[in-house]
């Protein structure tokens, strides 16, 4: 039976992993398609301007500059777009100058890269401008044949300027709220935790090892969503520090970064709880009261997910989670079963993390638990 159960569990693990990755992929597409469309249209527009208005037959670097400066990122602050566009223009100009004066070759490649990088460092402290300057200089020196016959030696630089100008125009005309993407990711990642806790509660109530293992697999598969949320929140928080127009969002995004870290900690605690629950249920321990408490915790996490997704104060989540915390007395939930009591202790740590994620001060979150 053990041999036949192993392939079944492996298949279940694969299904959970694939489903999680598909959900994450769909979320990324939903979050990025509009920005990818904008950048694609901008690249096509830059190509058209360079070819039909400026008159260049092969305006390769016009769409390159527009795409590099915009890409699919939500971080389209004017500063960032300008840095990337300037990096492309500097690299192209340096490469054109070297090829025009001394040709192309290994030492010319090293020379232009050295000069472009030093100029980038002189102009800006960030890495993006310098990186793009170096990359585009390498392309110019390495592929000099891209210049058409009779073309101006600096035609590619003009193309890069056209692409950068189009990218800047798009950035100025399509402002975005830096909170929107982290909020969407916060809702998705927190719902993953709620779903895990729901399956865990069902497994505890039915004494089903398969359900509890399914919850554990869900928790493991949710890590990419948590990592993406934490990264997006940190990026948005950094953006608003540099963008005066978004200063009013600083407090919310700073809290979002902390909430992402706390939620990640809660998921890790939930995985530990699920692993211990597998062993307890497999040994025949019944925990109906704990199952109800885990279910109530899942409802609190759902409330938290909605509040995070809407940018609202999570009052409902706090109230529900505080009620759960007050009921986490291991001796009341499992008077005569030390293994179930140990599960309650693990749930206490999980709920403290969730309370802090919902805005409860750490001391108050711990005080909400019954004394041991």
Residue-wise pLDDT for 225-235, tens only, equals 888 888 888 87
Instruction: Answer yes or no: is 282 within a domain.
Output: yes
Confidence of residue 98 (pLDDT cuts 50, 70, 90): confident
Give me the mean pLDDT over the 183-198 stretch.
92
For the chain, what is the domain count?
2
Same domain, 271 and 284: yes
Last residue of a domain, one of 173, 203, 231: 173
Question: For the chain, what percent of residues have pLDDT higher than 70?
Answer: 87
Higher pLDDT: 207 or 247? It is 207
Higher pLDDT: 8 or 64? It is 64
What is the model's pLDDT at position 148? 47
- Rounded CA gap, 129 and 245, in Å? 23
What is the model's pLDDT at position 96? 83
Give me the mean pLDDT over the 171-194 stretch.
84
Return the top range by mean pLDDT from 17-31, 103-117, 132-146, 255-269. 255-269
Say what the pTM is: 0.64
Same domain, 229 and 278: yes
- Rounded CA gap, 289 and 349, in Å? 18
- Rounded CA gap, 215 and 351, in Å? 17
Higher pLDDT: 9 or 273? It is 273
Token pair recorded at residue 55: 């008159």
Give me the mean pLDDT over the 154-160 stretch.
85
What is the model's pLDDT at position 68? 87
Lowest-confidence range among 100-104, 107-111, 210-214, 270-274? Answer: 100-104
Number of CB atoms found within 10 A of residue 142's CB: 15
Last residue of a domain, one of 173, 198, 226: 173
What is the model's pLDDT at position 317? 94
Same domain, 205 and 309: yes
What is the model's pLDDT at position 155? 82
Same domain, 235 and 156: no
Same domain, 167 and 285: no
Q: Residue 78: give the domain boundaries.
A: 31-173
What is the model's pLDDT at position 85? 86
Write out pLDDT tens, residues 316-350: 999 999 999 999 999 888 888 888 899 999 999 99
What is the model's pLDDT at position 326? 94
Three-class SS of residue 153? coil
Angle at 140 between CA 139 and CA 142, to 5 degrees: 65
The length of the chain in residues reads 372
Query: CATH number, domain at 299?
Result: 1.20.58.220
Write out pLDDT tens, residues 198-230: 999 999 999 899 899 989 988 888 888 888 888
Same domain, 195 and 322: yes
Higher pLDDT: 100 or 275? It is 275
Token pair recorded at residue 40: 């694609």
Confidence of residue 5 (pLDDT cuts 50, 70, 90): low
Instruction: Answer yes or no: is 15 within a domain.
Output: no
Same domain, 188 and 72: no
- CA 245, 247, 248, 249 torsion-angle sign: positive
Give me the mean pLDDT over the 101-115 stretch.
85
Those residues whose C-beta lies under 8 Å from the C-beta of residue 231, and which sit 6 or more positions away, are none
Which position has the token pair 């090829």? Answer: 99
Write out pLDDT tens, residues 24-79: 777 778 777 888 888 899 999 999 999 999 988 888 888 988 988 887 766 666 67
Same domain, 332 and 191: yes
Say yes or no to pLDDT of 1 above 50: no
Instruction: Answer yes or no: is 16 within a domain.
Output: no
Instruction: Answer yes or no: is 304 within a domain.
Output: yes
Say yes or no to pLDDT of 21 above 80: no
Confidence of residue 306 (pLDDT cuts 50, 70, 90): very high
């Amino acid at each position: 039976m053990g041999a036949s159960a192993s392939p079944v569990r492996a298949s279940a693990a694969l299904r959970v992993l694939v489903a999680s990755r598909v959900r994450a992929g769909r979320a990324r597409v939903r979050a990025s398609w509009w920005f990818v469309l904008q950048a694609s249209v901008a690249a096509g527009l830059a190509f058209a301007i360079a070819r039909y208005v400026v008159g260049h037959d092969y305006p390769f670097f016009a769409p390159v500059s527009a795409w590099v400066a915009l890409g699919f990122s939500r971080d389209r602050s004017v500063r960032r777009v300008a840095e990337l566009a300037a990096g492309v223009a500097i690299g192209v100009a340096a490469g054109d100058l070297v090829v025009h004066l001394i040709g192309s070759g290994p030492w010319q490649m090293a020379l232009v890269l050295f000069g472009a990088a030093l100029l980038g460092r002189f102009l800006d402290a960030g890495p993006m401008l310098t990186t793009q300057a170096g990359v585009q200089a390498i392309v110019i020196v390495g592929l000099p044949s891209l210049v058409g016959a009779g073309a101006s030696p600096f035609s590619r630089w003009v193309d890069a300027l056209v692409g950068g100008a189009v990218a800047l125009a798009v950035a100025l005309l399509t402002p975005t709220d830096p909170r929107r993407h982290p909020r969407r990711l916060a809702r998705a990642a927190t719902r993953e935790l709620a779903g895990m806790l729901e399956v865990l509660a069902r497994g505890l109530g039915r004494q089903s090892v398969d359900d509890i293992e399914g919850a554990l697999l869900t928790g493991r598969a949710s890590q990419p969503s948590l990592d993406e949320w934490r990264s997006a929140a940190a990026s948005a928080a950094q953006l608003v520090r540099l963008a005066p127009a978004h200063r009013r969002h600083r407090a919310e995004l700073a809290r979002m970064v902390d909430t992402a870290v706390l939620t990640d900690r809660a998921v890790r605690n939930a995985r530990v709880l699920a692993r211990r629950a597998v062993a307890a249920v497999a040994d025949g321990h019944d925990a109906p009261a704990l199952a109800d408490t885990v279910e109530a915790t899942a409802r609190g996490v759902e409330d938290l997910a909605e509040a995070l997704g809407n940018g609202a104060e999570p009052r409902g989540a706090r109230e529900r989670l505080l009620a759960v915390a007050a009921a986490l007395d291991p001796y009341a939930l499992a008077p005569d079963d030390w293994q179930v009591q140990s599960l309650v202790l693990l749930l206490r740590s999980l709920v403290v993390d969730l309370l802090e994620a919902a805005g409860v001060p750490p001391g108050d979150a711990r005080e909400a638990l019954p004394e041991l």
